[in-house]
Amino acid sequence: MAKLRQIWAWTRFIWSEYQRTGRFLVELGALIIFAYVFLRKPNVEAHLTATQFFGMTAIFVLCQTIFTTTMMAGLGNRPQGYVVLARSLGRKGYLVGLFLVAFLMSLVNLILCTIIVTIINKPVLWDAVIWGAGALPLILDIALVTALVLLLSSLVLSQGWRLSILAVIALASLSTSDIFTNTFDPNGSLGKILAAIRTIVGIPLTPLFAGFELAVTRQAYESNLNQALAILAGQAALLIAVSAFGFFAFERRDIILGA
């Protein structure tokens, strides 16, 4: 219980530090502009569907999550952090506090965006059940992106590890792209090798992309509930794996905080 109180105190401290920077006002302003420009129905007859809402909101919130988590990692990568790390909070508690602030801010942004859209688009074409079906995988994706960005920060991993993981993510992201197929014959030896490599490196990130699709379409809930539950379980498992790897790397790394 004492450990949890320490983590919560550290989380509150990081949040107060982030407030002093004023960046949360930038995020709030960007959220309002985004909702008004992209999610406001153009006329009285038009209606915003849940698919349209989650399709645009998911991209915005995940991008905002990357920005927020990067700022959190910067706040943690300061010489003042030595004082906190030297206390009983420990390295895991240090990372958990940074994660919680970034995750909770992104979660609040999602809720605020929902409230704003509900106000400016009456009537809305979804209820709490439909919103929850799309929000649950999106919230898990927010947690995943937060953990990944924190893992890829200079605070946790060395440059070599960061470049390697970024290369894997880039290859996985291009798994459905035509960049390679337009350059190399997909039926040729090199094309088949590249396709196999993209498939292999894309497996660990499948829950992340599948969760995004589930949040936007929510079709798996109706067509195959077991598949939807498997996607949610995969997201949770990937989150645990990324967090565990981040804790492992941070515990064993020589910490040299930035100026």
**What predicted TM-score, i.e. pTM, was given to this entire model?**
0.85
Picking from 133, 142, 115, 101, the residue whose alpha carbon sits closest to that of residue 239 is 142
Picking from 27, 24, 19, 15, the residue whose alpha carbon sits closest to that of residue 61 is 27
Residues of the chain short of pLDDT 70, as ranges, are 42-46, 79-87, 172-199, 201-202, 254-259
Whole-angstrom Cα distance, residue 68 to residue 149?
10
**pLDDT at residue 192, rounded to an integer:** 66
Whole-angstrom Cα distance, residue 58 to residue 74?
24
Give me the residue label for tokens 């109706």: 222
**pLDDT at residue 109, rounded to an integer:** 92
**pLDDT at residue 198, rounded to an integer:** 67
Picking from 100, 172, 80, the residue whose alpha carbon sits closest to that of residue 143 is 100
**pLDDT at residue 244, rounded to an integer:** 92
- pLDDT per residue over 96-109, tens digit each? 888 999 999 999 99
Q: Are 145 and 65 in contact (CB under 8 A)?
A: yes
Whole-angstrom Cα distance, residue 197 to residue 36?
42
Furthest C-alpha separation in the chain: 61
Tokens of 18: 């982030």
**pLDDT at residue 23, rounded to an integer:** 80
